[in-house]
Amino acid sequence: MKVVVFSTCVVDLFFPNVGAAMVEVLERFGCETAMPKKQICCGQPTFNSGYVADSQKTMRNEVDALLSVDADYIVGPSGSCVNMLHEFRMHLADDPEYGPKAEQLASKSYEFTQFLYRVLHVIDAGAELDAKATFHRSCHMTRLLGERVAPFVLLDHVKGLQMIPLPHIENCCGFGGLFSVKEPEISKLMVNEKVDDVVSTGADILIGADQTCLMNIGGRFSRRNLPIKVMHIAEVLNSNVDMSRVRYANEEELAAMAGGRD
């Protein structure tokens, strides 16, 4: 199985350790990976700022880049950015050349944990991490991409990891891309609420599946001098791996997957 790595600009430029962890996990599960160099940003920042037409040039570049390799799937470490790839279908629909390409791109694009769970049917990735942690459920991955299950199943099977429910898990961390720039005071209040909720769990680690959220919350941890570690779920699933413990979904679990994402 061949997989194109959709690196996302934030992971590529600021958190390459996350991208490396994702690739190592994918390759451990038999995927041949490729990362086209032509990929840049998916266009989400300018698109969300209202520059819809201007963003289409960036969208077309990303379509060309990610489809330049003949691969079975496209996998990224961010539900927000992967959802943007899916939205290309709507915004390029009237383009006779890129409309069909955008449909093709969307049909095989998955967020990392979604791919592990729903395509490879992994339940236990064989990881081990002796820690107490909580999970930040990012807005775009949950509400737009529609994935609410995959990361929790995978984390529940990490050996030694005690997962503590996060109060008000449905709340946004206040980042929202350029929202945090345009409305800094509101954003600050939101991220402080999120940090307070994380602190209330007593967790040593905050885990997430969108690195931009983790960057925002981690920045507030730093400013408040809180010794809470931030980890992307790819790093967790790449921790102290014992492949003899790997488990795939049984028939009952497969049926539950087919039943939906909520």
- Assess whether 57 and 152 both reside in one domain: no
- Assess whether 74 and 171 both reside in one domain: no
The pLDDT tens digits for 19-45 are 999 999 999 999 999 999 999 899 888
Under-50 pLDDT residues of the chain:
261-262
Decide: 72 and 30 in contact? Cβ < 8 Å.
no
- Assess whether 107 and 144 both reside in one domain: no
Decide: 110 and 75 in contact? Cβ < 8 Å.
yes
CA distance 221 to 79: 23
CA distance 204 to 253: 30
CA distance 158 to 156: 6
Domain end position, chosen among 118, 153, 173: 118
- Domain membership of residue 172 as a residue range: 123-244
- Assess whether 227 and 128 both reside in one domain: yes
- Assess whether 130 and 112 both reside in one domain: no
Domain end position, chosen among 118, 150, 179: 118
CA distance 6 to 35: 7
Sequence-distant (6+) residues with CB within 8 A of 252 are: none
Task: Locate 82 and state its tokens.
Answer: 């992967």
- Assess whether 190 and 173 both reside in one domain: yes
Residue 81 lies in a domain: yes
- Assess whether 89 and 104 both reside in one domain: yes
- Assess whether 102 and 153 both reside in one domain: no
Decide: 130 and 139 in contact? Cβ < 8 Å.
no
Amino acid identity of residue 234, one-letter, is A
Decide: 106 and 86 in contact? Cβ < 8 Å.
yes
What's 226's domain CATH number? 3.40.50.11810
Helix (H) or strand (E) holding 252: helix 251-258
Q: How open is the CA angle 60-61-66, to the nearest 5 degrees? A: 100
What residues form DSSP beta bridges with 231? 207
**What is the pTM (predicted TM-score) of this model?**
0.95
Residue 257 lies in a domain: no
Pairing label, strands 205-208, 247-248: unpaired
- Assess whether 128 and 228 both reside in one domain: yes
Q: At what angle do helices 98-107 and 52-66 cross, to 10 degrees?
A: 60
| Biggest CA pair distance of the chain | 54
Residue 258 lies in a domain: no
- Assess whether 73 and 6 both reside in one domain: yes
Mean pLDDT of the chain: 94
Residue 189 lies in a domain: yes
C-alpha distances in Å from residue 155, one per residue of 20, 89, 131: 19, 32, 12
Residue 252 lies in a domain: no
The confidence score (pLDDT) of residue 259 equals 54
Q: How open is the CA angle 189-192-194, to the nearest 5 degrees? A: 115
CA distance 198 to 105: 36
What's 110's domain CATH number? 3.40.50
Residue 111 lies in a domain: yes
- Assess whether 91 and 137 both reside in one domain: no
- Assess whether 81 and 193 both reside in one domain: no
Burial label, 125 (beta-carbon count in 10 A; 0-12, 13-18, 19+): buried
Residue 262 lies in a domain: no
DSSP reduced 3-state for 128: strand
Report the number of distinct structural domains present in the chain.
2
Domain end position, chosen among 89, 118, 147: 118
Residue 256 lies in a domain: no
CA distance 199 to 221: 10
Helix (H) or strand (E) holding 153: helix 150-156
